[in-house]
Every structure is written in C-alpha cells, then in structure tokens.
Structure 1
Amino acid sequence: MGRGSVPDTDRGRRRALATVLAIVFIDLLGFGIVVPILPFYVRSFGVSDVFIGLLAAAYSLLQFGSTPALGRLSDERGRRPVLVLSLAGATLAWLVLALGGTVETAFGTAAGLATLFVARALAGAMGGNIAAAQAYVTDVTPAAERAGALGLVGAAFGLGFVFEPALGAVFASDPVVTAADRLLPAVVPVTAVSLPSFAAAGFSAVALVATVLVLPEPDRTRAAPGPRGLIAPFRTALADVTLRPLVGVFFVASLAFSGVQVAFIPCVADRFGYTASAAGLLLTYIGALGVLNQGVLVGWLSRRVRDTRLAAAGAGLLVGALATLPFATDHGACLPPWLSIFGEGPRLVVLLVVLAVLSLGNSLLNVGLAATVSRSASEATQGTAFGVTQGAGSLGRTIGPPLMTGLHVLAIAAPFLLGAGLTVGVLAALVGIDRARP
C-alpha cells in the first residue's frame, strides 16, 4: 500500500488520515522524550545554562530556514518522500545527540558541545515533517472537514505531552539505564542522558519504516517547479494578499506564546513553590486538555463556526489567560477555603481554571489558523503555504525564548503580559482577516 495512492473512498481517506496521525504521534514521542532531558545533558558538560537557550534557538533557526523549502518540495515531489527524508534525518539527529557525551570524553567539552549543536541543527532542518503532515491531512480531507482533521494533528501533540514526560523519566531512570548497560554492546554509550536520545532515534526509525511501508501518497494536483532558495517561498507568500497577513500572525503568535513555554515552570516554582514533579503534573494536565480540545471540541465547533472566527476566539481567550496566569495566587486569595483541592488552597483552583482557558485558547487559535491557511492556498500549494507559515512560527520561537527569559529575570509577570499584549495584535489581525473574507 505504501507505493500506491489513497483510495478515493471515505474509508480509504479515513485510513490514510489515521496512518499519518499515528506516524506524527510516534515521531513526536521521541521528540518529547529528549527535550526535558536536554537541560541536564548540557549541564553534564559543566557549562552555563545559556547553552540551553542557544540549542533551542539553533533548532528553531534551522527549522525556519528548511520548513518552507520542504513544504514546497512536498508540493512538487510528494508528501511521502518529504516525510521519509525528514524522518530519516531526525533518526540520524537523535543518534548524533546520543554520542555527544562520548565525543566530550574523547575530545573535550568544545567538541562535545559542537556535537550537540550539530544534532539540534539537523533535527531543526528536518522539522518540516509537520508542515508536510498538515498538507497530507488537507489532501485526504474534504475542505469542510479540514479544521476538525487538523485538530487531530494538534491532539497528537497533546497526547505527546501526556506520555512524553513519563517515557523520558523511564528511560533516564537508574534501573532502566543499568539494565540497558548490561544488555547493549559495550560500544553503545549508555547514560541517563544518552539512553533517551537512543530511544528517540528508535521512535523516529519506527515512524520512518511505517511511512515507507504503510503510508500511501495522496492523489492531488502537483505544483509546477518554482524558484529555489531560502527567501523565495517567503517572497511568494508575502506577495499573496491572502497569505501575507497569516505569515505575520504566525510569527507574532509564536513569539507571544514562547513566553509561556520558557517562563511557565519558573513562574509556578516562584509563585506557588511547586517542585519539578508538580510542574510536570501541570504540564500533563495541559496536555490532556489539549487532546480533548483539539481531538473533540474543535472538530465540533469547526462545523458551526468559520475558521477565522475560531482563531479569533482562541486569541481572545489567550489574552485573558496570559494576563491572568502570573497573578493566580492573588486571585486565589479572594476565594473561600472550601474550594481547596488536593490539600492545596483555592489558588490551585484558579490556576487550573486559567490553564484550562489557556489550553482551549491555544487549541482554537492553532487549529483555526491552520484551517485558514489551508483555505487561503490552492490545492497544489498546500505544502508551501504550511511550510512558510510554520517557518514564520519557527522564527518567532527563535527570537522569543531569549527575549522572554530576559524579561523573566526583570519581573516574573513580564513575559506573560508582553505575550498578552502581542496576542491583542493577533486578535485584531484575525478580526480584519475575517471581515475581509466573503
């Protein structure tokens, strides 16, 4: 079936959709296992935490450069070849990452860090598989059902947040590391930071094999070869009056939300006194809500609300949640003590409610934007459109973390308040886009 095409039946399209979603989920499991381990990996080299942020920026910067090109390539050559290429590259990237400690022991700290940067840069360059997967979903889904189907891609991300922390903890635990050290050949370096990297390589390899053997190429109109180069896809998109504002919205939304991504754990630690374990449970809670929102609720809403209004509603909810999150302890003090849960005071209730609003807003915004991008591009240029907008998001995630961490040092609430302010701009842009649509 892998060498064939998607059958032109509802059953065939559903099967193809389920297959690509499973492949995305398997690949994301590997990604999520390693990301929480990376800070400890960097610290094992005895260097500053600044390198943690630089590694994140290296990934996002290469993703910014490669995603539009891979999206365009998927329009011209096919979704399946691009997925195969990116998954093969991701497998190699995780293997290189696992060898960073060995290189450091043999050749010194500088060489070890260079290995980590090469690995993260390669992983970022191969990060265009999400854009190709989104384009694949639009290929096998009728236009009226695309928002719900794209929501399922977001649900795959949410499921990753539920399972990834636990899997990462398992592969980094002493019993598993000890057992792996006994079972694997002596040439394989086994540590609490290398073993999760090898596991991530294994998950990407499984997704690669599934893509080659099981995933069919969708029937669609192929795009004619276009101009090459890093800038060409962005120039083409920015010349399109329909896509131009969406590129800007993706950039600003990603920049705004990066404040949550980098400042959430320090915020709950400082404001609530929560440990890493408690913060991990909150992340799992957010992931579970994301699965529910994007897998069920967004699909239901998308059949009743147009995609631009769905995205605008999400942006509005995010403004409120971002502005409220760092002050949840203050709001909790105003509630009666009987609202306490899990032995915590009412402030936990406020925090959980704010995080629920945050998760819903993020789900509506992401899915609404993705559906809007799909409607704004022709059937032959879906990959290019997703690649350019995802690339703009990667640029926002490159600039955001250093900016937001610097603000967090100045004031705990600053990244969240700036994120809320930027999201007001996103909301205004989406309202304008919606009014311009017939």
Structure 2
Amino acid sequence: MGVIFLTIFIDLLGFTIIFPLFPAILDHYFALEGNHGVLGALLGAIDRFAAFAGSAGNYRAVLFGGVLGSLYALLQFVFSPVWGSLSDRIGRRRVLLITVSGTALSYLLWFFSGSFLLFIFARLLGGGFAGNLSVATAAVADVTTRENRAKGMGIVGVAFGLGFLFGPAVGSIAAFYDLSAGAAANLASAADAAGIVSGAAEGTATVGAGLLHFAVNPFSLPALLALGFSLINLVWIALKFRETLNPAKRGEVPARVRSPIGALMELERGPARRTNWLHFVFSLAFSGMEFSLPFLATERFGYAPTDMFKIFVFLGLVLIFTQGLIVRRAVPKFGEKAVLICGLLAVCAGITLMGTVTTVPALYLGLALAGMGSGFINPTVSALVSLYSPAEKQGLVLGVYRSLGSLARALGPLVACFCYWWQGATATYLLVALVTLAPWLMAIALPRPIKNA
C-alpha cells in the first residue's frame, strides 16, 4: 500500500501544478497570439457563450480554464476504461508504466509549448494517458480484503488530498520564475557578444520571439517540475511496484472498450452500475461547486488569489483528516453505505450554508461540512463499486468509475458557471445542494455489500 500511495501522490503533484496557472496562461497566449488561430477561435466561442449567458467581467479567464479543464477531463472520460480494462488483462504494473510515460511526454510538450496549439496538444496527450488513477485504484482493490477495502480507498483519498494540497502550491511558486525571460536575456547577451549593433537589434528580437514561440514559455518551470515528478514516478514504479493482479484472476475482458457509457451499460444490472451513476451525479454537483467557489469568495468577501489558496489548503487538510483518520474508523463500525449516506447529507448541508453565508467564519464552516462529506463519500463509493464487482473486472469497473467522474468534472464547471451568471450565487448553490439529494436517495436503496466472498 505504501508503494501505491506514493505512486498516486507523485502523480497528482504533477497533475495539479497547473491548476492555479490557467488565468495567467490565457494572458500569456493572448498577448502572444491575440485573436488569431486556435486561441482566437476558442475565445470567440467563449465570448458568444458569455454574451448568451449575460455575463461580464473576467468571464474569459473563467471559461478558458473551464474549457481547458474540460478538454483534459473528456479525454480521461474516454480512455480511463480502456486502460482499466487493459490492466485486467496484462497487469497493473505494465499499464502504469505506459500511462506514466505518456503523461511525462505531455509535460515535456508543455515545457516547449511556445504556441497555444502545442499547449492544447500537450493537454490532449495528458488526458489520453490519464489512466494512472483508475489503474492504481484497481491495484488497491487487488491488495486489500473485502473487509478492509474502504480503508484502502481511504489511503488513496489521503494521497489525493496531499496531491491537491501541495501541487497547486508548487505551481504558484514556480510561476514566479520565468525561464523564457532568461532565454531571451541569454539570446540578447549572445548577440551583443557577437558584435551585433543596434541596426540589427530588431532582427535579433524577432529571432528571439521565434525561438520562444517554439520553445520555452513563462510556464516552462512548472512544466519541468511536473515532468520531474512524472519521471520520478516512472522510476519508482519500475523499481518498487510489484504486480498486484493475481494471474489466476486475469479476465478475458476485451482490450478495446467502445465507450465508457457503453462499458457501463454492458455491466450487469445491479448495485455496481447504480453506484457508478450515483458517483457521476455527485461529482457533477460537487465539481460545479468547487469551480464556482472562487467567484463566490471574490464577490462576497473580496478574496484575492492568495486568499483562495488558503481556502484550498483548508479543504485539503479537511480531506486528509477525514479520509486518513475518521473513515478508517467509521467504516468498520457502521459500514460503507451508512458512511456514504452521512457524507452526502453533510455535503448538502455544507453547500447550502456556503450559498447563503454573509461572514467568513460561516463560509469556512460550510467548507468544513462539504469537505468532510466529500471525504466520507469518495473512499466509500470507490469501495462499494469494487465490492459490488467481480475480481476479474476490477480494472474495467473502476476505470468506468474514474471515467464517469472525469465526464462530471468536464460538465459540472460549465453548467455551474452558466447558472452562476444567470441566477447568481445563492440560487446556484441551492440548486447544487438539491442535486446532491439525488445520490442520497440512490444510496439509501443500495444493498449492504457481501464481504465474506
């Protein structure tokens, strides 16, 4: 479990580094390319959508981040079941080596993304190889007993919390150091040393701009750190990760999966399929709340980016505490289903409070309730999906589980932002809280999992 924990944590460090950088990335590429090419087409579509929504202000930066996040999540949605299914056939270790290698390649491309198009290719490549988490989760299912499945998933949740806690912090700090500025300065120094006079200065600037266009950019250092984390993870898996899938349990699941929804519908009717849909609806609502949270905090309390960092650190600490301590003790005593139901009610109460608060302490109380509820939900839902599924299909079913979560994270922010601009914060958050009652009703109808199989 320790090896799997570090595998997930290191992977998430690289994945979350980019989170605080989206607005600055937009500013950079817009200054570089303006309203031309791929960026111009994307911004034009965002402008039309924002005009339809009746929004104003910083909608470009907000929807730009949402669209880029959605691109990545949609690729995860498509490919997670493929990697999960393949791991059921050839083993977890081999698939992890492939996906982490592909992820490292995407960070390398990001490092050299002097143009917006290259940056988009890097995001698409990263999303396509983002099967690490579903395969690592399946590995947890391999090495835990049915009685301890939720404890194992709780450890996965702690790795998630730590990754989301430290990754954005590393990205924010690394963004202060612009490698492209150093490259431009070195180019100018070399030109001076070569005796290029002022009459050729303009040509030198043009050459420098061209090199920067195809090479380093102001966010190359975060990309380099993400690449470093991926390479460390690759070496760690190659040296320390031992195959967790028993050869006797390798299924005949086809390596090619038509689509995540198709794979889900091909599962037998029963609790595993219903729990996957429960996870999708919850993730749709919760991701919408997460993405719109900066607007709520800015609008009501005048929060700056540094203040938002405090909020996400607070949420990360709540998740670590909940999944690392409370869940591991609560599940053996009360069971996965009861903990899941309590978590959904806590999220509903927390989001309702956040949508109606007028003071900062009340906001943090709502955040604590929502964060604690999410800490209850994520490990118990993944444990239930695993417990409801046969051993030879753990990778496929958990791949579908991660894939549906990715689809929800692609749709949730866009829907929530539209509602936010259309009806405001209070109505949006009350609607999100109402949506979380649907998975609560679905959870009540779930059977108790059989743990002595």
TM-score class normalised by the smaller sequence: 0.7 to 0.9
> In the TM superposition, what are the counterparts of 1:118-133 in structure 2 within 5 Å?
118-133=121-136
> In the TM superposition, what are the counterparts of 1:42-53 in structure 2 within 5 Å?
42-46=26-30, 48=43, 49=60, 50-53=63-66
Task: Indicate yes or no: 2:278 matched with 1:236.
Answer: no
Q: Does structure 1 retain, via aligned residues, the 8 Å contact 2:174–2:222?
A: yes
Q: Residue 390 of structure 1 corresponds to which residue in structure 2?
A: 402
Task: Indicate yes or no: 2:376 matched with 1:364.
Answer: yes
Q: Residue 338 of structure 1 corresponds to which residue in structure 2?
A: none
User: For the aligned residues, what is the CA RMSD?
Assistant: 2.4
Task: Indicate yes or no: 2:434 matched with 1:430.
Answer: no
Q: Residue 413 of structure 1 corresponds to which residue in structure 2?
A: 426
State the TM-score, normalized to the length of structure 1.
0.84
> In the TM superposition, what are the counterparts of 1:248-327 in structure 2 within 5 Å?
248-327=277-356
Relative to structure 1, the CA distance from residue 229 to residue 176 in structure 2 (aligned partners, 3 Å threshold; closer, same or farther) is closer
**Unaligned stretches of 5+ residues in structure 1:** 1-16, 105-111, 330-346
User: May I ask how many residue pairs the two structures share in their alignment?
Assistant: 394
The structure 1 segments of at least 4 consecutive aligned residues displaced by more than 3 Å after TM superposition are 174-183, 186-192, 434-438
> In the TM superposition, what are the counterparts of 1:339-354 in structure 2 within 5 Å?
347-354=359-366
Task: Indicate yes or no: 2:96 matched with 1:83.
Answer: yes
**Deviation string, structure 1 residues 62-120 (Cα, Å, up to 9, x no partner):** 111111111111111101111111111111111112222x2x2xxxxxxx2x3222211
TM-superposed CA distance for 1:191, in Å, is 4.1
Q: Does structure 1 retain, via aligned residues, the 8 Å contact 2:284–2:412?
A: yes
Q: Does structure 2 retain, via aligned residues, the 8 Å contact 1:65–1:230?
A: no
Q: Residue 334 of structure 1 corresponds to which residue in structure 2?
A: none
TM-superposed CA distance for 1:435, in Å, is 6.9
Relative to structure 1, the CA distance from residue 205 to residue 305 in structure 2 (aligned partners, 3 Å threshold; closer, same or farther) is same
Name the amino acid aligned to 2:129.
M
Q: Residue 171 of structure 2 corresponds to which residue in structure 1?
A: 168
**Pairing partner for 1:213 from 198, 216, 239:** 239
Q: Find the aligned partners of 1:256 and 1:353 in 2 and give their Cα distance.
A: 19
**Pairing partner for 2:106 from 93, 105, 119:** 93
Q: Does structure 2 retain, via aligned residues, the 8 Å contact 1:325–1:351?
A: yes
**Pairing partner for 2:11 from 19, 27, 30:** 27
Determine helix, strand or coil for the equivalent of 2:148. helix
Task: Indicate yes or no: 2:69 matched with 1:56.
Answer: yes
Q: Residue 35 of structure 2 corresponds to which residue in structure 1?
A: none
TM-superposed CA distance for 1:35, in Å, is 2.0
Relative to structure 1, the CA distance from residue 133 to residue 199 in structure 2 (aligned partners, 3 Å threshold; closer, same or farther) is same
TM-superposed CA distance for 1:368, in Å, is 1.1
Q: Find the aligned partners of 2:352 and 2:389 in 1 and give their Cα distance.
A: 34
TM-superposed CA distance for 1:230, in Å, is 2.3
TM-superposed CA distance for 1:242, in Å, is 2.4
Name the amino acid aligned to 2:79.
S
Q: Does structure 1 retain, via aligned residues, the 8 Å contact 2:109–2:118?
A: yes
Q: Find the aligned partners of 1:437 and 1:235 in 2 and give their Cα distance.
A: 23
Task: Indicate yes or no: 2:226 matched with 1:200.
Answer: yes
**Unaligned stretches of 5+ residues in structure 2:** 31-38, 44-59, 187-207
Q: Does structure 2 retain, via aligned residues, the 8 Å contact 1:94–1:200?
A: yes
Q: Find the aligned partners of 1:203 and 1:275 in 2 and give their Cα distance.
A: 29
**Deviation string, structure 1 residues 8-55 (Cα, Å, up to 9, x no partner):** xxxxxxxxx101110111111111112221331122111543433221
Q: Residue 11 of structure 1 corresponds to which residue in structure 2?
A: none
Relative to structure 1, the CA distance from residue 415 to residue 128 in structure 2 (aligned partners, 3 Å threshold; closer, same or farther) is farther
Q: Does structure 1 retain, via aligned residues, the 8 Å contact 2:139–2:245?
A: no
Relative to structure 1, the CA distance from residue 247 to residue 39 in structure 2 (aligned partners, 3 Å threshold; closer, same or farther) is same
**Pairing partner for 2:139 from 131, 136, 140:** 136
Q: Find the aligned partners of 1:39 and 1:76 in 2 and give their Cα distance.
A: 41
Q: Does structure 2 retain, via aligned residues, the 8 Å contact 1:181–1:190?
A: no
Q: Find the aligned partners of 1:388 and 1:182 in 2 and give their Cα distance.
A: 49
TM-superposed CA distance for 1:437, in Å, is 7.8
Relative to structure 1, the CA distance from residue 158 to residue 179 in structure 2 (aligned partners, 3 Å threshold; closer, same or farther) is farther
Q: Find the aligned partners of 2:182 and 2:337 in 1 and give their Cα distance.
A: 52
Which range moves more in the overlay, 349-358 or 129-138?
349-358
Which range moves more in the overlay, 196-205 or 421-430?
196-205
TM-superposed CA distance for 1:240, in Å, is 3.1
Q: Find the aligned partners of 2:123 and 2:162 in 1 and give their Cα distance.
A: 23
Q: Residue 34 of structure 2 corresponds to which residue in structure 1?
A: none
Q: Find the aligned partners of 1:55 and 1:235 in 2 and give their Cα distance.
A: 28
Q: Find the aligned partners of 2:285 and 2:388 in 1 and give their Cα distance.
A: 24
TM-superposed CA distance for 1:175, in Å, is 8.1
Name the amino acid aligned to 2:266.
T
